[in-house]
Structure 1
Amino acid sequence: MDNLLRKIFSLRELRYGFLLCFSIVICVVTFYIDEKMNPSDQMWLSISYYISFTIAAIWCGTNYFAQIRMNQFFRRQNDIGAYINQLALSGEDKLELQNYLEDYATDLEQHGRTREEAAKEAIDQFRVREFLSMSKHSKLFETHGHHYLLGYAALMLSGALVLALIDRLSSPSIFFKIFISVLSVYGVSFLIVYVMYKVLDQFIYEKIKKYFS
């Protein structure tokens, strides 16, 4: 439970926050003009809301891809021991494969490769399809689980609830109305984005799994 809460409130995991802040500012300003001035020409307000939504959508995409990291198993490595460690092999098989790769790397060194180059080339010779099934981490890409989105949703919805209670106990204010609405919309949006990210994770995983099967 503590580990889950830590993940949920790992708020620094969010990337490109300036885009999201820009979207929120545009939304708040547009909402204020809409409520306070109520201009007869609503076209510019519609465009402004659309720009705010578009920036939020751009943030949604850029944040998702910024969270993706190449799985350690598939990165170029120059440490034979670390590479062997990621394979789901018995201790005896690991030792046998490590000895083989080290002998191969030694042979490459004798032919002019540096120690690092030799280790990389030896590992690359074995990073093929049949070894994908041996990896403890079968996914090509790693993500953080996106739990931080739940943290932002909780904070925004809690903020909206607190402001709603204050507004109810005090005289009505347009500022309370605006911030309650914006916090609620973006809080719910974080929950929707969380679900979208999870679906996209599964979609990408299935495509990659099908490709390598």
Structure 2
Amino acid sequence: MKRLAMIGVAGLLALPVQAEDFTGRGWLLVCGEEGCFVNAAGTNLWVPADGSAAEASLRELEPLSAVEVSGDLSDIGDSSATLALRDVVLIDTPDEGNLREIQGRWRPLGEATPFHIEILGVDWSEMSMEEELSRAMMVLGPACASGVEPGGTAISLYPYGGDPEAIACWQIEYLDDRTLVLRDFMGDQGAVEFERLLD
């Protein structure tokens, strides 16, 4: 089968700019002692620990919770920034359950080579054994980046450091704990069935 077309990884360069107002929907990824990582509006956000009520509310949520965050952005790079958090609101969306369920490693059914995809948070990596071939940011929602609404959850893939025009879009056609079927809405691969790789 054809490989899922992606662009290689490049480093993220943060360019200091004046702080700007921000509101966006996305996902709480993880929290640690020094702060939390949130992905919202297609941007990876670092939310430093500041002892505020908003930050405390964020920390109470489970990883991969759907949220809307607002605050002031700084250190803005190609796909990353720092967010001084003002407010966080929990969002009700069916995409949250799908995002949780697709976490892990998936191999195309019948694939003879050691190729698989690995999904961690909102990062989609294409792997050959332990070598990362490419990496992209997933944006989940009802529509592809092109505006096409395939029905159900659509996954738009934005290559890190790649051509912003080279965006793939997949619809989750079927999903359970062992099987994932994705339908290609930006290319010609049609439906691709994956099986979960267990540790």
- Higher strand proportion (structure 1 or 2): 2
Q: Provide the TM-score with structure 1 as the length reference.
A: 0.19
Higher radius of gyration, 1 or 2: 1
Instruction: Considering Cα pairs closer than 8 Å and 6+ residues apart, tell me whether 1 or 2 has the greater RCO.
Output: 1
Looking at secondary structure, tell me which structure has more helix per residue.
1
